[in-house]
Amino acid sequence: MNSGYNGPIGYLDRIRRTRGANFCRNAFLRTERGNRQNAVRLINDDRLLFATLFVLQPEIRERNLYQELSERNRTALNICQKIRSAKNPQDGTGGEISLKSEDVHSVMLWMFNTGAGEDGLSAEFDQILDITASVLVKTHHEKTVLPVIADLIFRRNRRGVYNHDLIWAFFQARDPQSLTHIAGKLRSSYKKDVELACQLLHIPEDTPLNTGRDKQKQYDAYLSWLKENSPYVYFTGESLQLTNAPSVCGVNLEAKYLCKDVSPRNNRPLTPLTDEEIANLEHFHEVEDEERAALATFSHNLHTKNESSWNEWMQYPVSKQVDIAKYGRRELA
Amino acid sequence: MIVIAGNTVQPDSIGEYAPGSIERTILDMLASSSAKSAYDSVDQLKFELALRKEIIAASLQLYRSGLGFEIFRETRCNPDYWKRTQEGGFLLKDGVKPSKAIMDIYENGSKYGTECATAMMIVYYKALLSVYGEALFDKTFPKIELMNWHHIDPLLREVGYISKRDVYLPGDRRYFANPDVDPLVPQWQGENVIDLGDGKYYGHGIGIRNADQIIRALNQNRSEDADEDAHLLDSAGRPNFNRLYGISRRSAA
């Protein structure tokens, strides 16, 4: 499991982890009453985990410590307030901070990476993790958190707790390579991991996945599919809020036929189509639906293997292209 | 076009449905579509019409029930009838009559708060309760979990799938997607709705609105640099009317 953070932790974190949140709060208050500067030093420790700052919020308020907090801690608390105020806009607080700033980006990375391992601390904490993940992915296009999000999704799935918003956030990255983090769970020894991976990757329910060998085979097949199709994969935006069988991504067969990369975000070619490509697509549309996938796959494979043969093949009428795709032609081998 | 037992039929021949009624509207839409809507019998078609009508009625009643809107993490339910799950769904308590538990949501809506997808499931159960009656409903759905399309009863699993249709009908589940939603408010990522006919939709939390009004509400919850409008997806979820009819018919036999 990847909790996202394996680095050193602070004194207050150790107390919280070993003795619990209430003991940590009392210890912090005792320290503050005895030596305020010492308490400030402990909470501003670079090694502090976000979860500890989160649980000490009432004490920070009660002892008026906000102004003495480090920039990181103040920003983190402002982000928490912003998230609360988005839920209850009527309280009118939290509007001052812009979530698009670079400072917020780095603080959110700290919040999420050091917080993911503490998931389950409270409903509010988990919700803040979810929204932090969403903002990192959707606003800051941050991809380094994707493996951590993926692991958190599956950990929550094992515990049977809510994970749909986190799943939604994960796929908002619209990154074909991120699918490998989900595919990795196809090999898990936990049935619930495998079931969720199949659901998210849209693998048919009747796929045999009972043995380690079955799972490895499916995993290899998925990676092979991804390797072949990733330049043509686009994300649909489908989520578990919409359907129980979200088809989170699809393959643009036209692009695969033309061997032209598409944007995973909007399913449009990365470079404009040439007149020749537009003409080729018109021919492609003449082909029956069921033959298009085969034709696109043949085109991609030929292009990968031998670009000059592919150029030659693309000059043929589409009926001849289909014949060659079906029966092969020695000169194009 | 409506085809019953292999024969094309006209709406007039189906039954005494008043002009302007939900049933007649649906029949006219099916008949005027170039796509073939095939049924084994008139009764099968009439069952679908009745259930669609009750889906719409259940939507209107739920809207007036006082049911609150809460995100899944903060859902609430009447503990006399339901147990709240860790995921935010509602699980029917042991020993409770399913029909009474569903009716309690309508009678004591303010004791409940949930998201739009759960509301869709409540609507389907209430509609089936109206069509089946208490005895058959309780026998058919002895265990109920209300959430979204997770843990869905196998008899209703098709409402969890959404796909492109030849014709969209009153009583369909539709979805307004909001791809550029502000990540601070993920609950606005989309709205599950029931098509009420006449261009109106019921979405829990949004209320009874037309498509433009729903799109406007979703657009108001987009991120600062949004470049894509919210929109109604070209797809719908529907229960398997035929299977649900089969249960009704076997019970009557």
pLDDT digits (tens), chain A, 333 positions: 455 577 889 999 999 999 999 999 999 999 999 999 999 999 999 999 999 999 999 999 999 999 999 999 999 999 999 999 887 665 555 557 888 999 999 999 999 999 999 999 999 999 999 999 999 999 999 999 999 999 999 999 999 999 999 999 999 999 999 999 999 999 999 999 999 999 999 999 889 999 999 999 999 999 999 999 999 999 999 999 999 889 999 999 999 999 999 999 999 999 999 999 999 999 899 888 888 999 999 999 999 999 999 999 999 988 889 889 888 765 555
CB-CB contact of B160 with B149 (8 Å): yes
pLDDT for A329: 65
In this structure, what is the dihedral angle of CA atoms B212, B214, B217, B220, given to the nearest 10 degrees?
Answer: -60
Look at residue B210 in the predicted model and tell me its pLDDT.
98
Residue B250 class from Cβ within 10 Å (0-12 exposed, 13-18 middle, 19+ buried)? exposed
B25's CB contacts (< 8 A; 6+ apart) are B170, B197
Smallest Cβ–Cβ distance between A162 and the set B73, B162, B233 belongs to B73
SS3 A205: coil
Q: Which residue of B has its CA nearest to A133?
A: B183
Residues contacting residue A274 through CB under 8 Å, at least 6 positions apart? none
Q: What is the pLDDT of residue B251?
A: 83
Q: Nearest by CB to B117, which of A127, A162, A241?
A: A241
| B148 shares contact with chain A (CB less than 8 Å) | yes
CB of B120 within 8 Å of a chain A CB? The answer is no
CB pairs under 8 A between A and B: 81
Taken in order B66, B161, B2, B4, is the CA torsion positive or negative? negative
Q: How far is CA A20 from the centre of its chain?
A: 31
Contact between chains at B160 and A127 (C-beta distance less than 8 A): no
Cβ-defined contact of B148 to A165 (cutoff 8 Å): no
User: Is A240 within 8 Å of B150 when comparing Cβ atoms?
Assistant: yes
In this predicted complex, what is the ipTM?
0.90
User: Which residues of chain B lie closer than 8 angstroms to A127, CB-CB?
Assistant: 71, 73
* Chain B residue with Cα closest to A127: B73
**Looking at the partner chain, which of A130, A139, A243 has a beta carbon nearest the beta carbon of B162?**
A243
DSSP β-bridge partners for residue B69: B114
pLDDT of residue B253: 74
Please give, rounded to a whole number of angstroms, the shortest distance from the CA of A200 to a CA of chain B: 13
**Option in B86, B87, B160 nearest A244 (CB):** B160
Considering only CB atoms, B149 lies closest to which of A126, A139, A244, namely A244
Separation between Cα atoms, residue A41 and residue A53, nearest integer Å: 13
For testing the chain A interface, which of B189, B223, B224, B235 should be mutated: the one with the most A CBs within 10 Å?
B189
Record: contact A99-B179, CB cut-off 8 A? no
Ranges of residues in chain B whose predicted pLDDT is under 50: none
Half-sphere exposure of B56 (CA within 13 A, CB side): 20
* pLDDT the model gives residue A333: 52
Closest residue, chain B, to A140 (C-alpha): B183
CB contact under 8 A, B71 and A87: yes
Rounded Cα gap, residues B57 and B199, in angstroms:
16
Residue of B nearest to A139 (CA): B183
Burial class (CB in 10 A: 0-12, 13-18, 19+), A316: middle
Q: Which of B89, B247, B86, B87 is nearest to B156 (CA)?
A: B247
DSSP H helical segments within chain A, as ranges? 11-19, 21-34, 36-43, 50-55, 57-62, 71-87, 102-115, 123-138, 146-159, 164-171, 179-183, 191-201, 212-229, 253-258, 275-286, 289-305, 307-315, 318-327
- Please say whether the beta carbons of A12 and A28 come within 8 A: yes
Hey, are the CB atoms on B183 and A126 less than 8 Å from each other? Answer: no
Cβ–Cβ under 8 Å, residues B224 and B183: no
